Amino acid sequence: MHNKIVILTDGYSTPFLAKTAISLLRYRTDDIAAVIDGAAAGSTAQQVLSAGGDVPVVASLADVADADALYVGIAPPGGKLPDEWRPMILEALQRKLDVVSGLHDFLTDDEEYRSAAEQSGAKLVDVRRNKHKSTATGHRFRKGCIRIHPVGHDCSIGKMVTSLEVQRGLSAAGHDAKFLATGQTGIMISGEGVPIDCVVADFVNGAAEQLLIQNEQHDFLLIEGQGSISHPAFSAVTAGLLHGCAPDGLIFCYEAGRTQVKGLDDFDIPSMKDQMAACHAMANLRHPCRFIGIAINTRNLTAEEADAELARAEAEFGLPACDVYRTGADKLVEACVALRKELGQ
Amino acid sequence: MHNKIVILTDGYSTPFLAKTAISLLRYRTDDIAAVIDGAAAGSTAQQVLSAGGDVPVVASLADVADADALYVGIAPPGGKLPDEWRPMILEALQRKLDVVSGLHDFLTDDEEYRSAAEQSGAKLVDVRRNKHKSTATGHRFRKGCIRIHPVGHDCSIGKMVTSLEVQRGLSAAGHDAKFLATGQTGIMISGEGVPIDCVVADFVNGAAEQLLIQNEQHDFLLIEGQGSISHPAFSAVTAGLLHGCAPDGLIFCYEAGRTQVKGLDDFDIPSMKDQMAACHAMANLRHPCRFIGIAINTRNLTAEEADAELARAEAEFGLPACDVYRTGADKLVEACVALRKELGQ
């Protein structure tokens, strides 16, 4: 794995767009050399993106003496690479830095990038590129392998972070738990996984199922969620993933205060109740499954408001609720262990 | 459009596999010159595949004097082309017949086919090949455009035929109704559409939405359904299509007596009630929608049993029920018109 990574977010350093950068800064802090964003040069990553501590934000690659890779740090809806980044990507390739991207626009489809990489010996890595072509079989998973899957009311609300924090909590408590990445950022963090939203539709369920079959020996699998079951654009991904991983337990994730679909401002997010009912109905068509907890992202609330929201959610849904960023994931970890016992393991 | 088509089903002439052939024989009878299946040579298509009347079944392409295209007539799960068909496809290309396939294995990715086509001037057509890359926007469709979408309890039960028969019935009654194909067979029949199961997952909803936006001027759109909401392998396709076309009305389709998922014999099909509830919940997350009727495929029942099943379903679901093959689609046509009135159009 790379350990002197420069993250590119130039002009896009908002939580809305720089989701990949923020998660890399959070989970691979020691591997990050710098973040490139001209407008914020001189700041720290913590100041600009609320993650990464003292990692410096710089104006250009020339400001980073020692680096081994340039990571594209954004994940815009639809996954296009900004045109204005071309010179920076070419500069990186000329310096023999590998360039890693999770966008739908593939670097490896670009003649100019390919030839620059060939000349210097740098690698082009398209995390989303895949050749998954097997259909799901309705596999019956090992009973002792408890599958936990966070689903949410929208994109970019913390489903991946919830999976990671619960996995870490379970591992810290001595359980055999593994995080399974299903998106570009998760794959960049963990070094493996399936870029499920870039799989051909007929093979989405199958690609998820295969990923789980390969990891069935573990006692807990925390499978990263994608999109939302009600998302006008991404529900195909969410539904296929839900059936492919045949979860035993679901965690419902939402951001307090968010009412409109990310990127579709005039589209109301349906009620939590309707979404949870749809998720529950869908999941149970494949395998018996129930909600075991709630993960609330309270980033737009004060500490006091956050506590109130957590208490309110626990009362409304009758389930343990955490903000994994603020309160840790302990209650969700306990809920996973309780589910395992309930299932006789 | 081709009008001297040879359909290739050699060794695969069962209703389970030769779905594409059967539908082409049914809806493009006059354009079909012959069906190739060595084991059944000398029979008529009607005898072998219960469709196509006197269209002859022959042993090889050499038996067809005049032809303009060879169509691959099968749609196996996963979409692979049988290896043993290579010599026949090459023979067709050498004779300057276009070769049309709806499989996931693309003809146009095959060096040998490409070079044979180039030499003779024949065309290779991969119906499933597509470059859809736009995400859905949650488009608000014109109120006067009533969108009807058949969904079903499994694959290959007559969702496409239901769409076509209802569209024909509406058109015959003087309404402006259009069939929108979303699968390879529907596209081969109607000459246009979106091969939705071969779209990259992030763009499934968007590809469906775009197809509908291009046809929003019509009063009724009959959008071909795919897979089933509970299918272990194909629910990603079903869910994305359901949200992409934002239907006003659903028709529930099932085959009487089928209890196991097609191709996954040890996987029980969930109850109709649970499936209909999941479809209803999912559809209503996107747009207000209700079931307007039931389409039952009674091919394995006697006439008497079929009548009883139709009556039973009408009583159980409180909805009009047809077998569009046996009884015609009149009741479903009436239900579409009634829905349009109910919606104030």
In chain B, the percentage of residues whose pLDDT exceeds 70 is 99
Say whether A200 and B204 touch across the interface (CB within 8 A). no
Residue A283: the pLDDT is 98
Give Cα B35 distance to the centre of its chain.
Answer: 19
CB B203 within 8 A of CB B214: no
3-state secondary structure (DSSP) of residue B184 = helix
| Residue A114, pLDDT above cutoff 80 | yes
CA distance B290 to B66: 49
pLDDT digits (tens, 9 = 90+) for B291-306: 999 999 999 999 999 9
Q: How far is A250 from chain B (nearest CA, A)?
A: 17
Give yes or no on whether B5-126 and B146-342 have one common fold. Answer: yes
Element (DSSP H or E) covering residue B49: helix B45-49
Q: How far apart are CA B169 and CA B147, in angstroms?
A: 15
* CATH of segment(s) B5-126: 3.40.50.720
> Nearest by CB to A202, which of B104, B206, B241?
B104
Report CB contact under 8 Å: A201, B236: yes
From the centroid of its chain, how far is CA A283? 20
Q: Is the pLDDT of residue A170 over 80?
A: yes
pLDDT tier at A80, thresholds 50, 70, 90? confident
| Closest CB to B197 among A202, A264, A286 | A202
Contact criterion met (CB < 8 Å) for B196 and A196: no
Lookup: tokens for B201: 């997952």
SS3 A287: coil
Give dist(CA B312, CA B329) in Å, integer.
Answer: 18
Q: Which residues of B touch A266 (CB under 8 A)?
A: 138
Interface contact flag, B136 A233, Cβ < 8 Å = yes
DSSP codes, A80-136: PPPGGGHHHHHHHHHTT-EEEE-SSS-GGG-HHHHHHHHHHTPPEEETT--------
Residues of B in contact with A196 (CB under 8 A): 201
Distance separating alpha carbons of residues A183 and B1, to the nearest angstrom: 42
pLDDT at A79 over 90: no
Task: Report how far residue A107's alpha carbon sits from residue A117's, in angstroms, rounded to the nearest whole number.
Answer: 10
In the predicted structure, residue A277 carries a pLDDT above the cut 80: yes
pLDDT at B75: 82
The full DSSP string for A168-210 is HHHHHTT--EEEE--SHHHHHHHS----GGGSBGGGHHHHHHH
Paired strand residues for B35: B7, B57
How many C-beta neighbours within 10 Å does residue A207 have? 27
Query: Residue A171, exposed/middle/buried by CB under 10 A (0-12, 13-18, 19+)?
Result: middle
Q: What is the pLDDT of residues A302-326, one digit of tens each?
A: 999 999 999 999 999 999 999 999 9
Instruction: Give the residue among B81, B85, B89, B142 at the shortest CA–CA distance from B114.
Output: B89
In Å, the largest CA–CA distance within chain B is 61
Hey, what are B189's tokens?
Answer: 């029949």
Please give the Cα distance from B74 to B64 (Å, whole number).
20
Q: What is the ipTM of this complex?
A: 0.95
Strands B264-268 and B260-261: antiparallel
What is residue B89's predicted lDDT score, i.e. its pLDDT?
Answer: 97
Task: Return the residue in A80, A230, A235 with the most chain B beta carbons within 10 A, the one to mutate for interface testing.
Answer: A235
Domain B146-342 has what CATH class? alpha beta
- What pLDDT is recorded for position B33? 98
Domain ranges for chain A: 5-126, 146-342
Nearest-angstrom CA–CA distance, B122 and A309: 66
pLDDT per residue as tens digits for the range A190-243:
999 999 999 999 999 999 999 999 999 999 999 999 999 999 999 999 999 999
Q: What's chain A's average pLDDT? A: 96
Task: Report angle CA B89, B92, B96 to the nearest 5 degrees.
Answer: 135
Average pLDDT over residues A13-36: 94
SS3 state of residue B267: strand
Report pLDDT for A75.
83
Mutate to test the interface with A, among B109, B184, B197, B200 (most CBs of A within 10 A): B200
Q: Which residues in chain A touch residue B265, judged by CB atoms under 8 angstroms apart?
A: none
Residue B69: predicted pLDDT = 98
Residues from chain B that touch A204, judged by Cβ atoms under 8 A, are 201, 236-237
**In contact, B36 and B84? CB cutoff 8 Å:** no
**Which tokens hold the place of A97?**
């830095």
The whole-angstrom distance between residue A137's C-alpha and the CA centroid of its chain comes to 26
Q: Are A150 and A162 in contact (CB under 8 A)?
A: yes
Are the Cβ atoms of B204 and A236 closer than 8 angstroms?
Answer: yes
Nearest residue to B238 via CA among B255, B217, B258, B253: B253
Cα–Cα dist A203/B237, whole Å: 9
Residues of A in contact with B201 (CB under 8 A): 196-201, 204, 236-237, 240
Q: Give me the residues of chain B with pLDDT under 70, please.
A: 78
Q: Calculate how close chain A gets to B141, using CA atoms only, in Å.
A: 13
Per-residue confidence (pLDDT) for residue B213, from 0 to 100: 98
Q: Which of B134, B201, B231 sits opposite A236 (nearest CB)?
A: B201
Helix, strand, coil percentages (3-state) for chain B, rounded to 5, are 40, 20, 40
